[in-house]
Structure 1
Amino acid sequence: MPYAGDLTPQQAWDLLASDERALLVDVRTNAEWRLIGVPDATEIGGRAALVEWTTPQGLNPRFVDELAEAGLTPGDERPVVFLCRSGVRSVAAAQAATAAGFGPAYNVLRGFEGDVGPDGQRGHVGWRAEGLPWTTL
């Protein structure tokens, strides 16, 4: 596997809560952060970063640079947990981070709000649905 592996939202939170070096990185878009909400990292000392994987123009060409700006250093073995809407973009982000020497890099399964459910809505699974801390910007 080209990244450290997949974690359920609860496993991700448990890792973040138990390892003071671990960093949560939400790779959704600015619009998603503002309209849907973001994980609340207050209980883990604010160890979270918002780094877009994609922008309106396509893949974020500064993604790796922005990870470094968030405090990650290649080769330092600092756990990084990537989160997106449904757990797809975060896989790509974890792979890119691993290739750049960051990590171990993990993906959060089902993301912040999961795939569309039978009712045509999101939010039945994922970070929010599991009752993990979140807030609005």
Structure 2
Amino acid sequence: MLRGMATVNYFADDLEAAKDWYSELLGVQPYFAVPGGYYEFRVGDYQAELGIIAGRFAPSNPDVPGGQIVNWHVDDVAATFRRLLDMGATVHEPIIERGEGTGFVTASVVDPFGNVLGIMSNPHYLAILAESRPA
């Protein structure tokens, strides 16, 4: 069911400082940016995505888990989301299309143990997977 880590998201109140810090740490500049809201880096052997999101977009309810969300690529976000809920998880974030027509769709749940589990349909993940398979 979980196909591989798709995106790790971190929240930062000082988005520009976080971008600079991660750029220095990783030795690369972000490849994608939404001014004032989001920076994304590609890192590692499979060019996994590390996203820095403006803190104002972080879940704000202090009574529920929040913070970093690891999004696992799945083939069917809706079906996986339903299965997780059927298994006793609760909604953390509902299914959200991230940019009309881009193919990026996310959702997250809180598992029965209090952990946030993110799922995602991620065309970048599929492209990297296709490139890594022998012809």
TM-score of the aligned structures, taking structure 2 as reference length: 0.27
Q: Relative contact order (alpha carbons < 8 A, sep ≥ 6): 1 or 2 greater? A: 1
The structure with more strand, counted as a fraction of residues:
2
TM-score of the aligned structures, taking structure 1 as reference length: 0.27
